[in-house]
Chain A
Amino acid sequence: EAGVAQSPRYKIIEKRQSVAFWCNPISGHATLYWYQQILGQGPKLLIQFQNNGVVDDSQLPKDRFSAERLKGVDSTLKIQPAKLEDSAVYLCASSLLRGPPYEQYFGPGTRLTVT
């Protein structure tokens, strides 16, 4: 079974530029999560999708971050314009929708450096 795919793996941009990350979850996983992990901290949830609907985006800085999952499968996360404090690893995860709390499967992450 293929895991969660993310691209790119690494990205370096200057502040005020824009950047986009892509995630393809495990086939059949209805729930998709985007996390931001700043160095030395645990991941912080940015947005959670269930199919193509948003379940929770309360911690997404909506003035600069946006995310979509148009067909309920893969998803993109965009930052426009980037700030220095956006330097972090951006993790995508997916899980099954129903039943007991299923574990989340994480992708390899995208390491963003904003200079």
Chain B
Amino acid sequence: KNEVEQSPQNLTAQEGEFITINCSYSVGISALHWLQQHPGGGIVSLFMLSSGKKKHGRLIATINIQEKHSSLHITASHPRDSAVYICAAHSGSARQLTFGSGTQLTVLP
């Protein structure tokens, strides 16, 4: 069983819809990352959070440490949001990331 589980694996939405991607982890963490990967392969860090909630533009990330669960929300989704979204747990003294398998998001115009 993967230590970081994401759902759903694939998500198709219409432009303007509110989107939620979920991440559950079983390891103790010091921080959790949400990353965005476009088809070219490069990965961009969206958020790093260890408690509460962070917001950047139309993106919101929340984390519940007690429940070991995090969510990424996208408000007013747009086709340019189409990408793979990956959550990754930061744990251990070696500062390593354990990655989920990603959620492929497609936003249709």
B-contacting residues, A29-45, CB 8 Å: 31, 37, 40-45
CB of A103 within 8 A of CB of B45, answer yes
Chain B residues positioned under 8 Å from A31 (CB to CB): 95
> Number of A-B pairs whose CB atoms are under 8 Å?
59
CB of A108 within 8 A of CB of B42, answer yes
Q: How far is the CA of A55 from the CA of B95 in the complex (A)?
A: 10
CB of B97 within 8 A of CB of A45, answer yes
Task: Take A55-B94, A56-B94, A103-B48 as given contacts and tell me if A42 and B40 are in contact as well, using a CB distance cutoff of 8 Å.
Answer: no
CB of A89 within 8 A of CB of B41, answer yes
Chain A residues positioned under 8 Å from B94 (CB to CB): 48, 55-56
Q: How far is the CA of A21 from the CA of B39 in the complex (A)?
A: 20
CB of A106 within 8 A of CB of B95, answer no
For residue B86, CB closer than 8 A to chain A, the reply is yes
20 contacts between A and B (CB under 8 A): A41-B102, A42-B86, A42-B88, A42-B100, A42-B101, A43-B43, A43-B86, A43-B99, A48-B94, A91-B43, A100-B31, A101-B31, A103-B45, A104-B33, A104-B45, A106-B43, A108-B42, A109-B40, A109-B41, A109-B42
Interface residues of chain A, those whose CB is within 8 Å of chain B, are 31, 37, 40-45, 48, 55-56, 89, 91, 93, 95, 100-109, 111
